[in-house]
């Protein structure tokens, strides 16, 4: 959605701010969960 909005529609980043924030938070959560699972496997 973000890339489509920027490339196809020429929408600025300020209009896509909410989607970018949601994707960033989702990425942080997934990375944190993956790190926790990996550390448990090392123990």
pTM of the prediction?
0.64
pLDDT of residue 15: 72
Tell me if 38 sits within 8 A of 30, measured CB to CB. no
Tell me if 4 sits within 8 A of 15, measured CB to CB. no
pLDDT of residue 30: 97
Q: List pLDDT tens digits, range 1-43.
A: 666 666 666 666 677 788 889 999 999 999 999 999 888 777 6
pLDDT of residue 14: 72
């Amino acid at each position: 959605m973000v890339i489509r909005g920027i490339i196809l529609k020429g929408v600025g980043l300020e209009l896509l701010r909410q989607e970018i924030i949601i994707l960033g938070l989702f990425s942080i959560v997934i990375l944190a969960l993956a790190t926790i699972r990996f550390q448990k496997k090392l123990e």
